[in-house]
Structure 1
């Protein structure tokens, strides 16, 4: 299940309240962002211990400087509030899934 994050505080609360979290940052009028989101949602659904947060950078411009984002989409994996993996613009779903598998296995979240 995805959660829309609309403030910087929402983002910080989300990554600290979920041991393992994926953040998808997108923009309005970004066709790649729209294509990637359902893929990320489908992938995260295979990992019930992973929470998905979605940030629309078009509505929260400050997230770009907060996360040092220079493109969209950007997908990030956080483990206990710490960024562990980042991909931007062209998301390699196999690599992203591999990182989730490693983190869920190593974190014993299965």
Structure 2
């Protein structure tokens, strides 16, 4: 089952990452037109990858997250496998390249998913 949760603290972010084999964070800002335009496209890609759990964070609501995850721009898309960051895309995301990279990681990580 896919999660489209909104996280509102660093603690929630850490728990989300730790509780999912494949955890994906979509980090945005309130007045970011690129952030809002990219969401449906990323959700379309993620719909094809059902084992990845997705969560959203508005860095304006959790400003300390910027320092915690070294966020310098928005949007930032981060994929974690077993708590380790394996993919990060920021600002202008090339969707074809993003989809290719995340699908490749998904296929490799799916073979090692814990039971």
- Structures share fold, TM-score greater than 0.5: yes
| 1:71-99 Cα shifts (integer Å, max 9, x gaps) | 00111111111000111100111122112
TM score, norm. by length of structure 1: 0.93
Distance 1:99 1:79 in 2: 14
TM norm structure 2: 0.90
Tell me the secondary structure at the aligned position of residue 87 of structure 2.
strand
- Superposition pairs for residues 52-71 of structure 1, below 5 Å? 52-71=54-73
Residue 25 of structure 2 corresponds to residue 23 of structure 1: yes
The answer as to whether partners of 1:44 and 1:50 remain within 8 angstroms in 2 is yes
Q: SS at the partner of 1:14?
A: helix
Asked if 1:34 is matched to 2:36, the reply is yes
RMSD over equivalenced CA pairs, Å: 1.4
- Measure how far apart 1:108 and its partner are: 2.6
Alignment gaps of 5+ in structure 1? none
Partner of 1:23, secondary structure, is: strand
Unaligned runs of 5+ in 2: none
Q: Provide the aligned length of Structure 1 versus Structure 2.
A: 110
- Runs of 4+ deviating beyond 4 Å: none
For 1:23-53, what per-residue CA distance to the aligned partner results, in whole angstroms no more than 9, with x for missing partners? 0100011100001111111111111100111
1:99 matched residue in structure 2: 101
